Amino acid sequence: MVPTKNNFNSIFVLLLYTFCAICETKYIGGYYWSGSNKITKISDLNLGLLTHLFYAFVEVNIDGSLTIQNQEQGFVDELLKYKLKTNPDLKLLFSFTNKNDSFSKVIADPDLKSNFLTNTLTLLQNNSYDGIDLDWEFPKDEDKENYVALLRDLQSLFNSKYILTAAVRAIPIYKNTGYIVPEMTKYLDIINIMTYDYFGSWSNTTGQNSPLYPCSLDSAYEREYLNVNASIFNWIKVGADKTKLALGIPFYGRTFTLADPDNHGIHAPSKGGGSPLSLTFYQIASSYSNYITVWNDEQQTPYKYKNYTWLSYDDERSVARKASYAVEQELRGVFVWHIGADDVMGTLTGTKQPLLTTINETIFQIN
Ligand SMILES: *[C@@H]1O[C@H](CO)[C@@H](O)[C@H](O)[C@H]1NC(C)=O
Ligand SMILES: *[C@@H]1O[C@H](CO)[C@@H](O)[C@H](O)[C@H]1NC(C)=O
Ligand SMILES: *[C@@H]1O[C@H](CO)[C@@H](O)[C@H](O)[C@H]1NC(C)=O
Ligand SMILES: *[C@@H]1O[C@H](CO)[C@@H](O)[C@H](O)[C@H]1NC(C)=O
Ligand SMILES: *[C@@H]1O[C@H](CO)[C@@H](O)[C@H](O)[C@H]1NC(C)=O
Ligand SMILES: *[C@@H]1O[C@H](CO)[C@@H](O)[C@H](O)[C@H]1NC(C)=O
């Protein structure tokens, strides 16, 4: 048989799959937010689109005990059962959140910390979950040694049996940020960089919530810090191992109130946020279809406007660009906040979970 280009391609694809199954570089994380206004039925989700799922959230209490948010709803156990039925390879993690600055206090006190470590292990064993994600927003300068010590303790406690990840801010070295990146990168399996919330109601002008690249009107500061590409490079520059880095993709957008409806580009003067301040992809697809939509080619993200309302968001095209970027830059992968904000049932777009499906296709697609 004369080898055709297609045959070569399939052999190549097969080899790459085998390789990637071994090196485990591909990562698609998704947060399941138990506190969302519009709760997604777990059985409506296709868990085959993810490699890791984070249950949000578990509160860390001031005495080192743990509280599963919305535990009475039974999501924790339902997720486990549904995973075993539909995608046994999926890793299930608990995402830990701060409660009244509890992290800082618990990790500074040896007894509280020891209590916390014991409770963490019991929580994982009790629920047959695969690991934890520290979503501490944010450690301060005085916490940084304790934070790294906590990561070291968790890694040694987990002894490769459980996964340890953290969600971190887009700017690694910020005024008072308690990150010692070269140390963090040693102990964490995956670092979820929250590459979103760059522009919003707090900005003086319109701007993309999560631009992949800068815009030509950006100030020097904005160019160096307020886009996804800059964040990835900034994290690498201060010592992060890029094979552990994941880029965050928001399934939501942010609204602005234009100062002048006739001035509706990027960096148009704004008078703060609109109402509501943020919108899920589902809400945007359902209620903003009569807005004018602009693809911002420079920043590889879309925005919409009508009259005084301006909104920045992510769509199928921009999430595909970000997932490709993660592959091109040889990062670990991407994660999304949050999977329930997608058009889960496909009622608006005709595809179930269109954003997550696009991400899965892009991350696993081999050309
Ligand atoms: C996600 O991508 C992988 C690789 O192409 C594929 O095996 C899997 O079926 C996809 N998941 C879904 C639910 O389509
Ligand atoms: C939060 O912590 C502060 C300082 O420890 C304490 O005064 C306050 O009562 C706590 N608030 C709540 C809601 O627990
Ligand atoms: C683990 O399960 C036991 C028995 O149901 C329960 O008493 C304990 O509070 C659980 N601990 C954690 C941390 O979930
Ligand atoms: C907004 O504009 C004011 C006045 O020019 C300036 O002082 C402030 O720093 C600006 N804020 C931001 C977030 O750019
Ligand atoms: C991404 O950031 C790197 C590092 O700053 C820079 O060299 C590169 O030009 C940026 N890419 C784009 C398209 O802006
Ligand atoms: C634009 O918004 C203003 C203020 O909300 C309102 O008074 C006006 O009627 C709107 N114009 C159009 C064309 O909808």
What digits encode the pLDDT tens for the residues 126-183? 999 999 999 999 999 999 999 999 999 999 999 999 999 999 999 998 778 899 999 9
pLDDT digits (tens, 9 = 90+) for 222-236: 999 999 999 999 999
pLDDT at 176: 83
Mean pLDDT for 342-359 is 98
pLDDT at 21: 45
For ligand 6, whether the C-beta of 291 sits within 6 Å is no
Mean pLDDT for 112-125 is 98
Nearest-atom number in ligand 4 for the CA of 202 is 13
Q: Check whether 302 has a pLDDT greater than 60.
A: yes
What percentage of the chain has pLDDT greater than the value 70? Answer: 93
CATH of domain 15-250+315-363: 3.20.20.80
The tokens describing 188, both together, are 């964490």
Three-state DSSP class for residue 177: strand
| DSSP 8-state class, residue 226 | S
What percentage of the chain has pLDDT greater than the value 90? Answer: 89
Mean pLDDT for 82-108 is 97
Distances (CA, A) of 309 to 260, 306, 312, 330, 356: 10, 5, 10, 38, 27
For ligand 6, whether the C-beta of 307 sits within 6 Å is yes
For ligand 4, whether the C-beta of 127 sits within 6 Å is no
For ligand 3, whether the C-beta of 286 sits within 6 Å is no
Name beta bridge partners: 164: 132
Cβ neighbours for 17, distance < 8 A, ≥ 6 positions apart: 366
Q: How many residues does the chain have?
A: 367
Name beta bridge partners: 37: none
For residue 80, report the distance from its CA to the centre of ligand 3, in Å.
17
Atom 4 of ligand 3: nearest residue by CA position: 126
For ligand 4, whether the C-beta of 9 sits within 6 Å is no
pLDDT at 175: 79
Atom 14 of ligand 6: nearest residue by CA position: 307
Q: Check whether 2 has a pLDDT greater than 70.
A: no
pLDDT at 173: 86
Is the CA virtual torsion 299, 343, 50, 163 positive or negative? Answer: positive
Nearest ligand to the C-alpha atom of residue 118:
3
pLDDT digits (tens, 9 = 90+) for 3-54: 444 554 555 555 555 444 444 569 999 999 999 988 889 999 999 999 999 9
For residue 229, report the distance from its CA to the centre of ligand 5, in Å.
6
Percent helix, strand, coil in the chain, to 5, is 40, 25, 40
For residue 204, report the distance from its CA to the centre of ligand 4, in Å.
6
Nearest-atom number in ligand 6 for the CA of 261 is 1
Atom 13 of ligand 4: nearest residue by CA position: 203
CB neighbours (10 Å) of residue 60?
27
Alpha-carbon span 34 to 121, nearest angstrom: 22
pLDDT at 11: 53
The answer, yes or no, to whether the previous bond of 281 is cis (omega within 30 of 0) is no
For ligand 3, whether the C-beta of 118 sits within 6 Å is no
Q: Check whether 336 has a pLDDT greater than 70.
A: yes
For ligand 4, whether the C-beta of 204 sits within 6 Å is yes
Nearest ligand to the C-alpha atom of residue 260:
6
pLDDT at 366: 55
Distances (CA, A) of 264 to 46, 193, 312, 319: 38, 29, 12, 23
Task: Show the ligand 5 pocket: residues with CB < 6 angstroms.
Answer: 213, 229-230, 233
Nearest-atom number in ligand 4 for the CA of 205 is 14
Q: Check whether 338 has a pLDDT greater than 80.
A: yes
